[in-house]
Amino acid sequence: MKPKTLSYRAISSLCLELSLFLHAGASLANALDLLAEQTEQTALKKIYFTMSEQIDAGSSAAEAFQNAGIFPRDVCGMLRVGEQTGKSEETLLSLSRYYDNLDNADRQMRSAMLWPCVLVAVMMTVAVLLLIYVLPVFEQVYVSLGGQLTGLARILLEAGRFLHTALPVLILLLVAVVGALGFFSASQSFRSRLFGMGYGRNGKLSIKLNTARFAHALSLALAGGLNFEAAVETAGQLLADEKSRQACVFCRARIAEGEEAGRALRESRLLPAAESRLLSLGIQGGAAESTSREIAVRLERDSAQALENAVGRTEPLLVLFCCAVIGVILLAVMLPLAEIMASIG
């Protein structure tokens, strides 16, 4: 059975621990042995020991990570770059930061999408139960008082009867929705693919999320010792959607033609104008890596705020919509009933 890819948080923790071991003077093989001894998961322990043996036998770290089958392709690629440039420790530390940022973004997106879906599912379930079980009770009350449901109330009653006949299908649908929400919450790879399909859209939120991810990927590539042109190409390979990868190809081509880096980034829409100018100044001052890291932090903060604002606008609208549906059902029944009771009184 194919090993399961490690979560963003696990990769971040592993890369951080390995970078600390390297900083302390330990070899990567010894560091993996130590981590294997501290790991309680049997399968992971075996993988770490195998990776250590491969490195001791002469394999590169990138090859050992790739053969393990539990790391994303970009981890292996960046480790290969780090080994070639003699910056394995810096690369591991940057990978730790990169995947920590991915983990934060993943948790924010999961929370932002899961809660509204759960809210709508619960409220719609309440509305269906009102139509199926509560409305017929009010119909019996009307009949006992010598009246009958008319207008909207009659339409809702007929809708409830139809839903009652389709109740097995509704139960299966509800189970499917609950299962889908559970799978969405539990599967990081599914969320990653889902968000990747949305990264190329032109909405403001998608643009902010995508620019933040590009900035982190660029910072990661620069930390690996690549020059700026190669870093842009590598960053493009780390991005989720084809549109952004093509933008990186366009940006790299412009830089190869002699275009100034900040202008190329701005024209390719990989970074906003202000951040492009700032990175251009960082490149001129020999601080491209630290500047790109600062830009990544700034853009991540902006994207997190944009996501929070979007959720803040969406949740009240969903609550109002669901409450309006339930309110219409109740009013359609209660108002005629109130009229009958007033006439009797």
Give the residue extent of every domain in the chain.
Answer: 8-71
With beta carbons less than 8 A apart as the criterion, state whether 75 and 55 touch. Answer: no
Amino acid sitting at position 172: L
φ/ψ region of 147 (left if φ > 0, alpha if ψ in -120 to 50, else beta) reads: beta
Nearest to 304 by CA among 76, 123, 101: 101
pLDDT profile of the chain (345 residues), mean per 10: 74 90 88 87 88 89 88 81 80 84 78 76 83 79 70 79 84 84 70 54 63 79 79 76 80 85 84 84 82 81 73 74 79 69 60
Nearest to 175 by CA among 127, 125, 123, 114: 125
Distance, C-alpha 160 to centroid of its chain: 38
Nearest to 238 by CA among 222, 253, 254, 262: 222
Burial 4-14 (b: 16+ CB within 10 A, else e): ebbebbebbbb
| pLDDT at site 147 | 66
| pLDDT at site 202 | 45
Cβ neighbour number for residue 25 with a 10 Å cutoff: 7
Q: Distance between CA atoms of 95 and 79, rounded to whole angstroms? A: 9
Q: Distance between CA atoms of 287 and 35, rounded to whole angstroms? A: 34
**Residue 271 in 3-state DSSP?**
coil
| pLDDT at site 3 | 60
| pLDDT at site 195 | 56
| pLDDT at site 190 | 64
Residues with Cβ < 8 Å from 136, sequence gap 6 or more? 157, 160
φ/ψ region of 272 (left if φ > 0, alpha if ψ in -120 to 50, else beta) reads: beta
**Residue 66 in 3-state DSSP?**
helix
